[in-house]
């Protein structure tokens, strides 16, 4: 008979976790202390800088500039209502998904909602002019979620709602072409757009890239040599040079191609063409990856059923291929979101370029040492907030879809 032994000590609990992960050996313990000390030093330095040494005044005074740049102040409620629509739709989707145990979209929703709530609280506490509009956005966010949770049957029209939000967004931001120049829905010329608003407008370059990219990807896999060669040529040519050169090329070439005065084509349009083109090439490569992941048997089965090649592509291949590349497309969207900062080359004032403008304002230069560090921190926070949360979601999605494990 074996004598009874005590249970192993290293089971659960904080201490055993610490021992295993931080102090498992002499070297490990030493590393922990050294790294911890450095980290503590840096952290304290950062906090000290944020709360004592930094000058936040110029940033605080220029928040509107950073958000929408020169978008007319009385009309700022329009981009804000776009925010409301999106967060409400996100909430609706999250609420509906809740009933089915969907957590990925809920995670994204709750983070963005938390940001909206935080901004609302700050706005209310410091008496922003737009504080009630922000309050409205918060209400919309909660209402969307509540509605989704209470009426899961809305799922049937969810896709249509998302699609409908697109023209609504365009109308809200651009305005109605025939509206009276003093009315609330008057046209706001694109040269007055800027800041965060413009960053998001440019990121939508991924939307036209979607169908075009699918077309190019299908063309690249075509058996017809002329079409295949053309698609390969376009994809590799566009991917061969960096985005900044395409923006530069578009700014020079677009007026020439349409043979009009350079000033007649707004810089935003030229940038958009370049961004959409660039996104298309990368989208095509992503979709191609998805197409390749569809097993050969699926094609053969479709042919055996007597489907035409168009039917086969539409009903069998693409749904599977696109499902597999959703994470990659999210990743690409994040990349594009970050890359919109390159439109400075066209003189467009997106968030990144507005930050340069703010840094060069006389009031900012008067601050000893400038406010570059403060602005950089703000920009980092902004881009990181969106990009990181979406990349986490994309990874969750990847695991959820089981890409690569099937």
Per CB under 8 A, residues contacting other proteins are: 21-22, 24, 28, 31-32, 35-36, 39, 223-227, 230, 236-237, 239-242, 244-245, 248-249, 252-253, 255-259, 334, 338-339, 341-342, 344-345, 352, 355-356, 359, 368-370, 372-373, 375-376, 379-380, 383-384, 387-388, 391
Specify the residue for token string 């040519």.
237
- Identify which of residues 23 and 128 has a Cβ nearer to other proteins in the complex: 23
| Alpha carbon distance 29, 23 (integer Å) | 4
Q: Is the CB of 169 or the CB of 394 nearer to other proteins? A: 394
Tokens 């709530």 belong to 117
Nearer to other proteins, 292 or 376 (CB): 376
Question: How many of the other CB atoms lie within 10 Å of CB of 255?
Answer: 16
Residue 275 CB partners (closer than 8 Å, separation 6+): 202, 205, 243, 247, 336, 339, 340, 343
Q: How far is the CB of 31 from other proteins (least distance, A)?
A: 5
CB of 317 to other proteins, least distance (A): 18
CB of 114 to other proteins, least distance (A): 18
Shortest distance in whole angstroms from residue 244 CB to other proteins: 5
Q: Which residue's CB is nearer to other proteins, number 96 or number 108? A: 108
Task: Tell me the CA end-to-end span of the chain in Å, nearest whole number.
Answer: 48
Upper half-sphere CA count for residue 375 (Cβ side, 13 Å): 25
Residue 398: count other Cβ atoms within 10 Å of its Cβ: 18
CB of 381 to other proteins, least distance (A): 9
Q: Which is nearer to other proteins, 183 or 376 (CB)?
A: 376
Distance, CA of 120 to CA of 138 (rounded, Å): 7
Nearest approach in angstroms of CB 141 to other proteins is 23
Please identify, using beta-carbon distances, which residue of 17 and 132 lies nearer to other proteins: 17
Asked if residue 195 lies in contact with residue 67, where contact means CB atoms within 8 angstroms, the answer is yes
């Amino acid at each position: 008979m074996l004598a009874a032994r005590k249970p192993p000590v290293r089971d659960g609990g904080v201490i055993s976790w610490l021992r295993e992960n931080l102090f498992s050996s002499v070297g490990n313990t030493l590393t922990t202390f050294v790294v911890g000390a450095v980290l503590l030093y840096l952290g304290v330095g950062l906090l000290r800088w944020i709360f004592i040494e930094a000058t936040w005044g110029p940033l605080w005074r220029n928040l509107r500039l950073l958000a929408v740049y020169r978008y007319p102040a009385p009309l700022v409620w329009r981009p804000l209502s776009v925010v409301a629509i999106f967060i409400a739709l996100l909430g609706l989707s999250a609420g509906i998904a809740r009933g089915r145990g969907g957590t990925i979209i809920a995670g994204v929703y709750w983070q963005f909602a938390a940001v909206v709530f935080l901004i609302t609280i700050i706005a209310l506490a410091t008496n922003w002019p737009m504080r009630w509009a922000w309050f409205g956005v918060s209400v919309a966010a909660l209402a969307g979620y509540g509605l989704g949770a209470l009426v899961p049957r809305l799922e049937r029209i969810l896709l249509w709602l998302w699609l409908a939000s697109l023209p609504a967004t365009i109308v809200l931001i651009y305005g109605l072409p025939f509206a009276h120049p003093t009315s609330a829905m008057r046209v706001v010329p694109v040269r007055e757009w800027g800041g965060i608003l413009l960053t998001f407008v440019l990121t939508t370059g991924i939307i036209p890239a979607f169908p075009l990219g699918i077309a190019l990807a299908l063309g690249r896999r075509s058996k017809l040599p002329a079409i295949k060669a053309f698609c390969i040529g376009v994809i590799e040519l566009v991917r061969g040079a960096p985005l900044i050169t395409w923006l530069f090329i578009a700014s020079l070439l677009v007026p020439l191609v349409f043979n009009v005065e350079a000033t007649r084509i707004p810089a935003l349009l030229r940038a958009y063409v370049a961004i959409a083109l660039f996104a298309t090439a990368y989208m095509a490569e992503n979709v191609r990856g998805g197409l390749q992941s569809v097993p050969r048997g699926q094609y053969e089965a479709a042919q055996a059923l007597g489907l035409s090649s168009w039917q086969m592509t539409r009903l069998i291949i693409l749904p599977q291929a696109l499902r597999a590349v959703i994470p990659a497309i999210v990743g690409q969207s994040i990349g594009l979101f970050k890359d919109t900062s390159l439109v400075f080359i066209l003189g467009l004032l997106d968030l990144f370029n507005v930050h340069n403008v703010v840094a060069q304002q006389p009031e900012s230069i008067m601050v000893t040492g400038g406010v570059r560090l403060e602005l950089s921190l703000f920009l980092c926070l902004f881009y990181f907030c969106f990009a990181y949360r979406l990349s986490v979601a994309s990874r969750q999605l990847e695991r959820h879809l089981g890409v690569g494990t099937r």
